[in-house]
Amino acid sequence: MDQRYRERLARYTTAMRNGQPDRVPLRPFVAEWTGRYAGYTCQEMAHDYPKALEAVRRCARDFDWDALVPNMIATWTGMLQAIGLRYYAIPGIDLPPDVGHQYREPPPDQAYMRSDEYDQLIEDPTGYLLNVWLPRVAAPLQPPGGTVTEAHNLSLVKGAMAMQQFFRDLQEQEQWLRRETGTVAAISGMLRAPLDMLADKLRGYLGVLDDLRQQPQKVLAACEALMPHLLHFATLTADPLQQVPLGFWMHRGCVPFISPRQFESIFWPTLKPIVQELWARGHQTLFYAEGNWEHHLSSFAELPDRSIVLHIDQTPIDKAHRVLHDKFCLSGGVSNYLLAHGTRDEVRTSCRNILQTVARDGGYIMDASAIVQNDATVENVQAMTDATHEYGVYSQGHASTLPEDSGSTSPADHSPAEKFVHGAGGSRPPGTCVSWEQASRNLPAISGDPAICREVWQRIDALANLYVWCVFLVF
């Protein structure tokens, strides 16, 4: 199994660095589909996450795939209920048991951040999330000065303990996949675009559209204030070995959801420096580009070579290959509609066309266009797998060892982006809730070594920061 793991990791990383391995790697982003294959409902997968983990394990045992996400079910509803989050509809409770979880988009007048609160967010992003946003999205919580109830206290205690359990078990899942099936954990950590977070969790999509027209400078300043915190979270959660990429989920930052001018003036200038800085620190980013991003391929080309893997959903894959194949690896492009409603032969034909054109010289990873939920047929997913093994072999490639630069390389002339080195990001530095300088003023005189006290305080304080940003970014 160790040898199989090493070969698969070498195959995967060689392709991601835009090289040519022994064959095209398979990395299906399968979510609710794993439950369909293993015999679990969406409710069981979302609410009882050990079943979601078991479904992934069963797929890893039964399919010859190189890499998998240890759990692609985006939420564990036990934790969501422990926290009391308002913005999810839960399978088997709010929805039929065989329907995946749904996000409740707030009406503009009920957005979790009001249109006149930009200055608060800009001044102190962490403080805003702790004191304003979290009490609004978590039903039992009260803002500072509110009546603290037992439910309020339980939300914080149960939510933090549940989150710790969830991520501990995900780490164990990664080790199980490696040890028992030789399967690579496909991604590590998470990046989000600043403007996406404003639209997803703060102002809502419609609210952000209004703000982009009525107060664009505030939107830009808020995105700039979020940048150091999003960089910090991405770096903290990234693969420490710098082998697998950060997951970056992209959806409403492209035309036509925002205009080309808004992309060029706000979305891209507050995302590009983060990606560049991550690459300089050795971390590749998977651009999981849901929707059609063909209008922005030239912008992606501004990034350093190999700094990203571009996943293809509705972007024309031949155009993406034509513009970017000398710079970046591509993945995906197999229609989810075809996987659900096409024939086995149609799936094989689609895969063969991609393998003989886009993947011809390397730098490609086989996957569906978008996350595979529970509508794709088992036969068609198997057809995608079989076609890759049959048509995706390179005569000159190899997968016996990791590429020499299995970690990323920093540009020689790189210097940290201005926004990440001069205290930008509001009054609290990234990773901080209460600084040691502030806390120490309220402590008795320290008779021993103050460095020990400071180190422990900062370590525990960082966990509180991680909790609120994890709720904001991941759940």
Tens digits of per-residue pLDDT, 84-108?
A: 999 999 999 999 999 999 999 988 8
Whether the per-residue pLDDT at 149 is higher than 90: the answer is yes
Q: How many angstroms separate the CA atoms of 148 and 448, rounded?
A: 36
pLDDT band at 165 (very low <50, low <70, confident <90, very high): very high
* pLDDT, position 405: 54
Q: How many angstroms separate the CA atoms of 220 and 229, rounded?
A: 15
Whether the per-residue pLDDT at 230 is higher than 50: the answer is yes
Tens digits of per-residue pLDDT, 125-140?
A: 999 999 999 999 999 9
Whether the per-residue pLDDT at 162 is higher than 50: the answer is yes
* pLDDT, position 409: 47
Average pLDDT rounded to a whole number, residues 339-361: 98
CATH class of 2-394: alpha beta
Compute the mean pLDDT over every residue in the chain, rounded to the nearest whole number.
94
Average pLDDT rounded to a whole number, residues 376-394: 98
Q: Domain extents for the chain? A: 2-394, 433-475
* pLDDT, position 404: 57
Residue holding tokens 């609210």? 207
* pLDDT, position 422: 44
Q: How many angstroms separate the CA atoms of 45 and 51, rounded?
A: 6
Average pLDDT rounded to a whole number, residues 401-426: 53
Give Rg (Cα) of the chain. Answer: 23
Whether the per-residue pLDDT at 424 is higher than 80: the answer is no
Average pLDDT rounded to a whole number, residues 372-400: 91
Average pLDDT rounded to a whole number, residues 434-463: 93
Whether the per-residue pLDDT at 400 is higher than 60: the answer is no
Determine whether 267 is exposed, middle or buried from the number of CB atoms within 10 Å of its CB (0-12, 13-18, 19+). Answer: buried
The contacts of residue 259 (CB under 8 Å, 6+ apart) are none
Whether the per-residue pLDDT at 410 is higher than 90: the answer is no
Whether the per-residue pLDDT at 417 is higher than 60: the answer is no
Respond yes or no on whether the N-terminal peptide bond of residue 140 is cis (omega within 30° of 0): no
Tens digits of per-residue pLDDT, 182-192?
A: 999 999 999 99
* pLDDT, position 283: 98
* pLDDT, position 407: 46
Q: How many residues does the chain have?
A: 475
